[in-house]
Amino acid sequence: MYGFQVYHLNLAFSSIPAEARPEVIERCYWPLLRLAQRRGIPVGIELTGWTLQQIQQLAPAWVTHFRAMLERGQCELIGSGWSQMIGPLVPVAANRWNQKLGLEAYASTLGVRPRLALVNEMAFSSSLVNVYVEAGYEGIIMDRDNVRMALGLDYKPLSEVPTHALGHGNVEIPVLWSDSNLFQRLQRAVHGDIPLDDYFGYVARRKAADGCVLPIYCNDAEVFDYRPGRFTAESRLHPEGEWNRLERLCAGLTEVVGLQWASPSEALAENLQKLPMRVSRMSSSQHPVTVKKQAKYNINRWSLTGRDDLWLNACCHRLLQTFIRDDEQEAERWRWLCELWASDLRTHITESRWKDVLLKVELLDQGSALPRQLGAPSKTLPHGVECHLDEEGIFQTLITPGCHLTLNLRRGLAIQSLAFRKHGFVPVIGTLEQGFFETIELGADFYSGGVLIEIPGERRRLTDLEWTKPDLQIAGNTLIVTGTLQMGGGTLVKKIEIDIAAESLALSYEFSGMERPLGIVRVGVLTLLPSAWREPLEVVTWLGGAEPERFHCEDGVWHGAPVSMLISSSSALGGTEGHLELIDARGQGLCMRWNPSQCPATPMLKHLATPSGHLTRLSFSLCELDDTSRAGGHLLPMRLELAPL
C-alpha cells in the first residue's frame, strides 16, 4: 500500500514574528528538503505565493534547491494561492485573484504550475470547486474527517466517501483526502508524546482497514524542531531532534509497516483507479462549511473572533467594492488585499504584526457608510399608514399598504408579528410564546428582532427585552421607529425602517459606549412562525463563489451551539455577498440583505422539528468566542433589510 505526505509552509503563521522567519527556514524548511532526498519520499510541499516570495528574499538558496528537486521529481509543488485566504468567507472576485496571483508566483519563481491545490485551512464550500477548476487545477486536497461528518458517513467504509467534489453547474474536481487523526498521531509520535511502536501499530491497523492510499501527513512543517510560543504550555523539543525522529519514523513506516511512498498526484491517481467514482456535494445545512480537525476549528474562527475579525473583514470588503467599482487591474494592489484577507491575521497574531495590519488599513476609509438621506422628518402619518396601540400599552401595530408590523414595547420593540402583502398579510416572523412547544426544553419565549450579548467570563447575559418608548417619524417614504435602551454600560439604538412605497423593512442596531466583549454578540434574531411556512425549508446563501449555494434545513441544525465553555459556536452559513434567502416548499419566503463593507455579520441557523411545529431561528453574529479571541475592538453598526419572496 502507498502513503503520501504533504507539508504546509507558512511564514505568515499567526504567532511567528517577522524577525523569526530566517530561523523557521533554517530549522524547518531545509530539513524538509533533506528528509525528502535522504528517504526518497516525493513529499508534497504547499506554500502560498507570498511565502515563496519571502523565502526567495531571505534564503534564495533554498528556492534554488527546491526548484532543482521539483525538476528531478523528488518532491511536488502543491498550490494554495497568493495568501492563505478562507475562501468561503471571501467574495468570488478576490478568490479568483488570489489563485491567479499565486499561480503567477509559482511560474515566475519555480517554473512550475501545480496540478493540485490544498484547500486553505481545509475550509471548504462547494463554491470553491468552480474557482479551483477555473484556475486550472486538476484536483484538491481536503480533510476527510469533517466531510464524513457533514455527510453522515462517520461510521461508513472509506470507499463511500466521495472521490469528486461537486460544484455549481455539475462542475466537479477529484479530491485527495487528508486525515486529521493520521497527521495528529504523527505529530505526537515525533514530539515524543507516544512511542514509535504504538504509532506503527496504529498505522498498520489503518493500512489493513482503509483500503486506499494513506495520507500519513498533511499539515504544518513549522511544528517540528520549532515552537512559536503561541501557548503557555507548549511541548518541549524532543532531544533526539524532531526532524531526525521524523526521518526514523518514515524509515519505520517503510520497513515495519510496509508502506511505499507516492507523490500526492500519484496518490490521487491510485485512489481514482481503485475506488468507485462518487461525485457529491461535500457539505450540509448542519455543516455548510467543512474545516479541519476538531470542532473548535469552525468557520467563525476567521470571521468573528481573533483581535478584531469583524472589523478587519469589513475593511477588506470595503476595499474590494472599491476595486470592483474602479475595475482595478493592478496586481500589486490585489496582492495587498489578499494579504489583508489572510487567515493568520485573524487568529493568534502577535502584537507587532497586528500593529502592522493597523498601519496598512489606515489607508482605507474606516467610517461607516453615510447615513441614508431620507428627507426632513415629520410626525404626521401619510394617507394609508396607520398606528395603533393596544389597551395595555404593550403592543403597537403599524400598518402600511405593503406591510403589517406589531411590536412589543414591553420587550424592547421585539417583533410580535410581521406580514407582507405578497403573502396575503399572513405573519411570517414574530414571537412564539412560552407554551407553544410541548417540551419543556423549548419552554421559553422566542422573540424576533432582538439582541443577545453573553460574556461568560463575567457571567453576564444581556438582552434588549426591556420597556421601550418608541419614537415614530416619517422621512420621505420611510416610517422610522426608534428605540433607545441602556445596555451593558452603553447604549443600544434600534431602528425599524418601513418602506411605505414598497414591501420591505430594515432592522438597524447601533452600539454606543460599548466595546466588543470577550463573548458573543448576536443581532437581528428572527423567529419563523411555523404556520406560515410549508416544509421542507431551504436556505440560500453565497459562500465564496459566483453562484449561491442551497441547503435543505435538516432537523437538528444549530450553528450557534457551543462546543465548550471556550468555543461559543460550531458552524455558520456565511454570506459573502450580504444576501440570504429562506424559502419554503411553495417558493415563498424571505430575502435578507446587509452590507458586508459596513458590517460583515455571519448568519447562523437553528432548525428543530417538534410535534408542535418547527422552531426555526436565524441570527446574525457580530462576535463569537474561541481560543483566539481578545477583548476590545469594534462593535460595528448592523443594518438588515427584509423583503418577501
SS3 labels along 57-105: HHCHHHHHHHHHHHHCCCEEEEECCCCCECHHHCCHHHHHHHHHHHHHH
**pLDDT value for 165:** 97
Phi-psi sector, 524: left (phi>0), alpha (psi -120 to 50), beta: left
- What nine digits make up the cell of 185? 498521531
Instruction: Give pLDDT tens digits for 518-564.
Output: 999 999 999 999 999 999 999 999 999 999 999 999 999 999 999 99
Is the pLDDT at 367 greater than 50? The verdict is no
Instruction: Give pLDDT tens digits for 468-492.
Output: 999 999 998 999 999 999 998 899 9
Residue 353 sits at φ, ψ, to 5 deg, of -70, -35
The domain spans of the chain are 2-300, 309-361, 377-644
Instruction: Give pLDDT tens digits for 577-621.
Output: 999 999 999 999 999 999 999 999 999 999 999 998 999 999 999
Confidence of residue 352 (pLDDT cuts 50, 70, 90): confident
**pLDDT value for 118:** 98
- What nine digits make up the cell of 138? 486538476
**pLDDT value for 361:** 84
Intrachain domains 2-300 and 377-644 with the same fold: no
Can you tell me whether residue 635 is helix, strand or coil? coil
- Closest by Cα among 229, 226, 228 to 237: 226
- Where is pLDDT greater, at 128 or 369? 128
Instruction: Give pLDDT tens digits for 104-147.
Output: 999 999 999 999 999 999 999 999 999 999 999 999 999 999 89
Average pLDDT over residues 211-216: 94
Average pLDDT over residues 373-394: 81
Query: Largest Cα–Cα distance in the chain?
Result: 87
Average pLDDT over residues 92-98: 98
Instruction: Give pLDDT tens digits for 305-329.
Output: 999 999 999 999 999 999 999 999 9
**pLDDT value for 371:** 45
Instruction: Give pLDDT tens digits for 254-305.
Output: 999 999 999 999 999 999 999 999 999 999 999 999 988 777 789 999 999 9
Cα Rg of the chain, angstroms: 26
- Closest by Cα among 494, 505, 520 to 620: 520
Domain 377-644 belongs to what architecture? Distorted Sandwich (2.70)
What does pLDDT average to over the chain? 93
Q: Which CATH number fits domain 2-300: 2.60.120.470, 3.40.50.720, 3.20.110.20, 3.30.465.10?
A: 3.20.110.20
Residue pair 11/21 in contact (Cβ under 8 Å)? The answer is yes
**pLDDT value for 570:** 93
Rounded to the nearest angstrom, the gap between the alpha carbon of residue 218 and the centroid of all alpha carbons in its chain is: 21
